[in-house]
Amino acid sequence: MNVNQQTPMASPYGQPQPGYGQPSYATLGGGYPDPYGPYNGPSTAYQPGAPPQGYSPYASFPSKAVAEIPVSDLSSPLDLGSARGPPTSAPPPVSTPQAYSHYTHGDTQNGPPPMNHPMAQPAHRPPVSQPYSQSAMNLSGPQSSYPQQYGAVPPMQQMTNQMSGMQISSGPPTSAGLGYAPRPSSQPLISNTYLAAAPPSYTQAPPPVSAAPSQPPPPSEPAAPQPYYGGHPALQQQQPFPSSAPLQSQPFPLSAPYSGPPPSSQPQTPPVSQQQSFPPGPPSQQPFPNSASLPGPPPVSYADPHPTQQPFPPRGPPPTSQTGSFPPTSSPPAQYLGPQPPSQPGPPPYLSGPPPRGPMPPSSMSQQQANHLPPGSMQQPPQPGMQGGYPPQQNGAFGQPRGPQPGYGGPQYPMQQNYGAAPAPAPPPPAQKRLDPDSIPSPQASELPAVQKSRHRIDPDAIPSPIQVIEDDRANKSSEPFTTGVRGQAPPLVTTTFQVKDQGNASPRFIRCTAYNMPCTADMAKQSQVPLAAVIKPLATLPPDECPPYMVDHGEGGPIRCNRCKAYMCPYMQFIEGGRRFQCGFCSCVTEVPPHYFQHLDHTGKRVDCYDRPELSLGSYEFVATVDYCKNNKLPQPPSFVFFIDVSYNAVKSGMVNIVCQELKTLLDYLPRENPEVDSAVRVGFVTYNKVLHFYNVKSSLAQPQMMVVSDVSDMFLPLLDGFLVNVNDSRMVIESLLDQIPEMFADTRETETVFGPVIQAGLEALKAADCAGKLFVFHSSLPIAEAPGKLKNREDKKLVGTDKEKALFQPQSGFYSNLSKECVAQGCCVDLFLFPNQYIDVATLAVVPVSTGGSVYKYTYFQAETDRERFLNDLRRDVQKPMGFDAVMRVRTSTGIRATDFFGSFFMSNTTDVELAGLDCDKTVTVEFRHDDKLSEETGALMQCAVLYTSCSGQRRLRVHNMAVNCCSQLADLYRNCETDTIISFFSKYAYRSILNTPTKTVRDTLVNQCAQILACYRKNCASPSSAGQLILPECMKLLPVYLNCVLKSDVLLPGADVSLDDRAYLRQLVSCMDVSESHVFFYPRLLPLVKLDGGSLPMAVRNSEERLSKGGVYILETGLHLFLWVGANAQQELLSNIFGTPTFSQIDPNMTNLPDLDNPFSKRLREIIDSFRSQRSRYMKLMVVKQEDKTELIFKHFLCEDKSASGGASYVDFLCHMHKEIRQLLS
């Protein structure tokens, strides 16, 4: 993938790839089986071993190392393709980074095999490394930067070197050729290895490389690796190894057993053998086979795919072995099982899997059988050994995770190397490609088995790793400010911290596009299937070091606009005729410049005052709107906030009422204001309700508030005018008295029924009466069943889930709320809903109004004052304080050729162009999809202008304008090179979440998969160099598309588990619809950080979301934007525990705590800092949940390990990748 990063790479690589791929594939396809068989065996063995072992112990290593490695791996395969490019072109250095990723991938892949791999890896590495080392060495020089990124600099470098070497090798006919050459010769073997053994390959080539870089930390074992690496990248490798080594050292032994297993079915011995084999492996393919055989079980599976589909059945044995291995590591099996069709416990599936495989081997190859045997043996040994050894390793390893990764990477590469056998360098590239192929083949065999097999065979570390990509981007792009002046330049990823300099286009904080090179024609767009969309966050909060949009005042005439399309003055307006006229960049219409705005042009045709005027030089700015832009041609009033508090029995009992009232007393001092010196102009009002509504008169002249009960809910009206909406400062005493009394008044209430429709109506009436816009805060506890408009009935019916009628559950029960929301929008009445349900509350219906009015919904199921208080209060505080605009209208104008056709988010549209938002806060996004209605030209590119007319919190009418220009391309390759996967996923998720309203969920899922397959297939067909059909080639920019897409498909909304309520799904559905890219990213692919060495300002490097990356001895933190988990391994070090929890004993940790104890040690402080910073980054407060391993709450936690198979039937990453590949192949054929 990394290689692919640059398309140029692709083409060059393409050539090599074919070579590699062909061989490898070829092997897969036919004769290879034999060689592969063995290879696969080992490789698979590694993988299986890895997974099983890895799950607990490996996991830790892998996870850390893997995180990077897998990415690199995947990328690497792809990269290989791309890598080729680099060699051909000078880019190599550039590509090197990619190489790193590759390496890392390799590492990660190694990771899975971890224990074995480490050992084996070293062995492999030497061979691989050697070849690589040469080339790599060269490369390494230039690629220094990468190493840095990895953290384990040396290893990284090495890795990169290796990677580069790989690439280079591939690129340069010489070394690569050599390396490859052998492979081709040994193709069968190689291919096998690749197929089966991305892992094995990893172990061999990659491991060394990657390991070396990452491992540097652990010096101790490096020695061992060093020997393996021998002369080659010894140093680098050593380092990586050390890091991983210490921990992995044990694994190595394990791996040894693995290696042993192949020969002897038992684990640890095999490792040794593997190591040995590896070294030999490189020299001769046979060793690989051996090694492969060790991993064999997994490899077997690979082998199976390679040979034919038949192999799968034969693979049965391998599976069995795998199963065996899996079983050992309990969690991994589960995951595996998960993916498998049967949702039964992991083990059974595996078992089942194995049996088929059993048959497979026989059919396929004797080697396979051999592999199988080893695998089985391997697995078994690994299990015991692995488990035992791993945990400790992991514990120790946490610090070293990166080390391990490299190590893993190493292994992967090794595998490749193995394939390449002789040409260690070459292998990596092939490995990359091959890895993919491997995975691919497995799917080919048959979906389910394929998946299973693929899983077994494909080393999770070998597939593109989000972590790696994120880290790469962070390393590359966070140092320099991102300047928006260059058209068509993709911004850094959302996960990267960077500074933006506005040079004429809107900051990515405001607008992110799916593609920064738009296809020129509709045909191209259709062919590629890449969605053209922009995620716009018009009022985004900028970091303190960036300047908020300037205010521009064009005087009484209002902003200057194009006469025809009404676009606002912007940098795309071309001044002509000496500055007397300007030509609109959107519609080309020529408009006179008003005299007061006239300015002379300089010699370049620019206005002389160009840089003095924000609207001529910046991408984002604001206009002061004139009275013409106001409702009824009347300047608006400052907005009002009305608080509606449910005081029915449930609400009072849960403590909500009390909390809200207490909090409001202080919160009212923090109403939004533009100038902190001045009191907020926002007026407030209060209403409580159950079956009837209680309004409060809090006029400042009163000694006591007055309550006015409106029981006529069927025809709501506002019972008072004067004294309902008041200025906080004027009425402070009365308000405080009121808030003190509300909880008392209703403390003994026995009213359980509530209304909801009239509540909104009341707020609407209040705002109407006050003639202002505003926001309603509704704190609501139960399904509104009282007799009133908008009454709802309980319609939750689990039986409908999964049927065609399911969609009805996402639609509102009646049209009442839709109509109501229209009225709300017309008045500029935004509704924020805080729900505290104890049972079904019909979020789908209740959320209609908030969603249509630009409001937010917060849900606190089973709210308890003690545990949820903080979360709720923080949400509330933020919600009240956040800057927002009211009564907003947004319009997106585009240059001729495209137009905005579809909008997603929380808003209302009365026509097809105007997005009406009663409220628009700094967290809300509107996603806009564009379609061609004509051709675009490459010269002018595509322009879009998003103008938002709104009323500020001080009652000022403003226009915020964001301009965005992107390139247009006539080559598909350009399109694929400038995509942003995160944005695409964000768009897909929103699109899919909306589709389920009208389409059966399954269809939606299929459509998504299909579209992604088309995107990738189109790339493969049109941009990638020709290669074996068995090879999965992903565009660099989209290499994470499968993993992310899988996360979307597995999300609760699209694939609900048995315990996911309809409310939860409806809630998430609306939530996602207005998420920005960074939120949707972390929502679908949560951030999982190992808690190690928290000193220093930087965060520990994330690990991939898979249980196998978790170490029993570690503590992890996982963040999704909505949830925050602290996972504590059963064997976590006492010191760690005391640092965090103040108790050294695992069993004494209170799983109910929602905040960590305030301990006076650097670790605890830093950890709490990190948690705080996480919380501050998100628009919603995340309650901390402590999950102890093996505890029942772990199930919830596991739900977020999105690379694993999910309990609800979602495929694991590996399985899904295989499936995807199959889809692509079907499309291609």
> Which residue ranges make up the site for other proteins (CB under 8 A)?
692, 694-696, 699, 702-712, 715, 717, 719-723, 737-738, 741, 744-745
Q: For residues 693 and 906, is the Cβ–Cβ distance under 8 A?
A: no
CA atoms of 229 and 214, how far apart (whole Å): 14
Q: Both tokens of residue 714?
A: 């069927």
Output the smallest distance, CB 653 to other proteins, in A.
19
Output the smallest distance, CB 733 to other proteins, in A.
13
Task: Choose among 360, 357, 332, 356: nearest CA to 345.
Answer: 332
CA atoms of 2 and 818, how far apart (whole Å): 48
CA atoms of 1144 and 1084, how far apart (whole Å): 34
Output the smallest distance, CB 782 to other proteins, in A.
18
Q: For residues 320 and 372, is the Cβ–Cβ distance under 8 A?
A: yes
Output the smallest distance, CB 709 to other proteins, in A.
4
| Phi then psi dihedrals of residue 368, to 5 deg | -55, -45
Output the smallest distance, CB 753 to other proteins, in A.
11
Nearest CB to other proteins, comparing residues 90 and 709: 709
Nearest CB to other proteins, comparing residues 694 and 1175: 694
Amino acid identity for residue 27 in this structure: T
Nearest CB to other proteins, comparing residues 707 and 922: 707
Output the smallest distance, CB 633 to other proteins, in A.
19
CA atoms of 607 and 612, how far apart (whole Å): 10
SS3 content of the chain, % helix, strand, coil (to 5): 50, 15, 35
Output the smallest distance, CB 791 to other proteins, in A.
16
Nearest CB to other proteins, comparing residues 664 and 979: 664
DSSP assignment of 200-246, as one string? HHHHHSHHHHHHHHH--S--TGGGTHHHHHTTSSHHHHHTHHHHHHH
Helix (H, G, I), strand (E, B) or coil at 623: strand
Nearest CB to other proteins, comparing residues 749 and 814: 749
Q: Both tokens of residue 812?
A: 């509102």
Output the smallest distance, CB 635 to other proteins, in A.
19
Nearest CB to other proteins, comparing residues 694 and 1005: 694
Output the smallest distance, CB 741 to other proteins, in A.
5
Nearest CB to other proteins, comparing residues 419 and 649: 649
Output the smallest distance, CB 740 to other proteins, in A.
9
Q: For residues 1119 and 1079, is the Cβ–Cβ distance under 8 A?
A: no
Nearest CB to other proteins, comparing residues 735 and 936: 735
CA atoms of 817 and 776, how far apart (whole Å): 15
Sign of the torsion formed by the C-alpha atoms of 237, 239, 243 and 246: positive
Nearest CB to other proteins, comparing residues 100 and 695: 695
CA atoms of 273 and 1105, how far apart (whole Å): 31
DSSP summary character for residue 1212: P
Burial of 1000 (0-12, 13-18, 19+ CB in 10 A): middle
Burial of 600 (0-12, 13-18, 19+ CB in 10 A): exposed
Nearest CB to other proteins, comparing residues 117 and 694: 694
Output the smallest distance, CB 664 to other proteins, in A.
16
Nearest CB to other proteins, comparing residues 695 and 816: 695
CA atoms of 908 and 888, how far apart (whole Å): 11
DSSP assignment of 75-114, as one string? HHHHHHHHHTHHHHSS-HHHHHHHHHHHHHHHHHHHSSST
Q: Both tokens of residue 681?
A: 């102009």
CA atoms of 394 and 248, how far apart (whole Å): 8
Nearest CB to other proteins, comparing residues 738 and 1118: 738
| 161-198 as b/e: b if 16+ CB within 10 A | bbbbbbbbbbbbbebbbbbbbbbbebbbbbbbbbbbbb
Nearest CB to other proteins, comparing residues 707 and 1060: 707
DSSP assignment of 21-69, as one string? HHHHHHHHHSSTHHHHHHHHHHHHHHHHHIIIIIIIIIHHHIIIIIHHH
Output the smallest distance, CB 715 to other proteins, in A.
6
Nearest CB to other proteins, comparing residues 478 and 741: 741
Output the smallest distance, CB 721 to other proteins, in A.
5
Nearest CB to other proteins, comparing residues 640 and 1025: 640
Q: For residues 155 and 214, is the Cβ–Cβ distance under 8 A?
A: yes
Nearest CB to other proteins, comparing residues 722 and 933: 722
CA atoms of 1026 and 1041, how far apart (whole Å): 21
Nearest CB to other proteins, comparing residues 489 and 741: 741
Output the smallest distance, CB 786 to other proteins, in A.
12
The residues, ordered by sequence, that sit 6+ positions from 463 with a Cβ below 8 Å of its Cβ are 70, 73, 74, 105, 435, 436, 439, 1043, 1213, 1214, 1217
Nearest CB to other proteins, comparing residues 695 and 1125: 695
Output the smallest distance, CB 734 to other proteins, in A.
10
Angle formed at CA 1151 by CA 1147 and CA 1152, multiple of 5 degrees: 145
**In which element (H, E) is residue 852 found?**
helix 848-852
Task: Choose among 466, 391, 299: nearest CA to 58.
Answer: 391
Output the smallest distance, CB 886 to other proteins, in A.
23
Output the smallest distance, CB 646 to other proteins, in A.
17
Q: For residues 1036 and 75, is the Cβ–Cβ distance under 8 A?
A: yes
Q: For residues 465 and 105, is the Cβ–Cβ distance under 8 A?
A: yes
Output the smallest distance, CB 704 to other proteins, in A.
6
| 16-41 as b/e: b if 16+ CB within 10 A | bbbbbbbbbbbbbbbbbbbbbbbbbb
